[in-house]
Structure formats: structure tokens, C-alpha cells
Amino acid sequence: MDYRKSNAPVTTVTRNLDSLTKDTANLYETVIIVARRANQIAVEMKQELNKKLEEFASYTDNLEEVFENREQIEISKFYERLPKATLIALQELEENKIFWRNPETGSNKGK
């Protein structure tokens, strides 16, 4: 998924608990689902960021070049401005874009 095009809010938003728990009927199960999806998103975003930063990496011992690399700074600032992984996961849950399954109850939901 392209997280740069996500319409998730950048700041914290008040959520309706009834709408978040309508599929699971359990707030704690909903929190676990969102947390696991947020972890997946965070790992993907970190891998993407590291891949882009590697393109501009210099392998010299000169400390001045480390602080002068404007491309790395701009890329890092861009990723800092993106919505956090938790907010993206909550947005995906509200839009029914998350597939989940509970093996104990046999229930599942998703795309």
C-alpha cells in the first residue's frame, strides 16, 4: 500500500468506540488487530525509508559529509510528516481494509 496517499489524519482524532468495535464486539480484540497491523505498516515504512536513505549513503569517514547530506535530511523530514502507523491502521480498520481472523472463535472479517 502506498502510505503517502493515505487519507489518515496526521494528528490524534477522537474515535467512536461503537464503530470501532462493531465487527469484533470486543474493544481489546480491536486494539490487538490495530496494533498488529500498525506493526506491519511501521516495518514496511522503515524498510522503505532505509532503502531510500541507502541510495545517498556515503561510506567515508568524513564527519562533515554526514551532516551536509541534504537529500537524506529531506527524505527523513518527509517520512516524519507522514501519518503514524497507528493512525493509518485505524483508518484502514474504519474503511474495512484489514483482514483478520480469530482462530479461537472462528470469526474473521476483512476485504
Q: How confident is the model at residue 42 (pLDDT cuts 50, 70, 90)?
A: very high
pLDDT in tens, 53-93: 888 766 665 555 555 577 888 888 888 888 889 999 998 99
pLDDT in tens, 7-33: 777 777 888 888 888 888 889 999 999
H or E element: which one contains 83?
Answer: none
Residue range 96-103: average pLDDT?
Answer: 84
C-alpha cell belonging to residue 7: 487519507
CATH of domain 3-109: 3.90.940
By CB neighbour count within 10 A (0-12 exposed, 13-18 middle, 19+ buried), where does 48 fall? middle
User: What confidence score (pLDDT) does residue 40 get?
Assistant: 95
Task: Give the start-to-end residue ranges of the domains of the chain.
Answer: 3-109
User: What confidence score (pLDDT) does residue 65 get?
Assistant: 53
Task: Give the torsion sign (CA, 26, 28, 29, 31).
Answer: positive
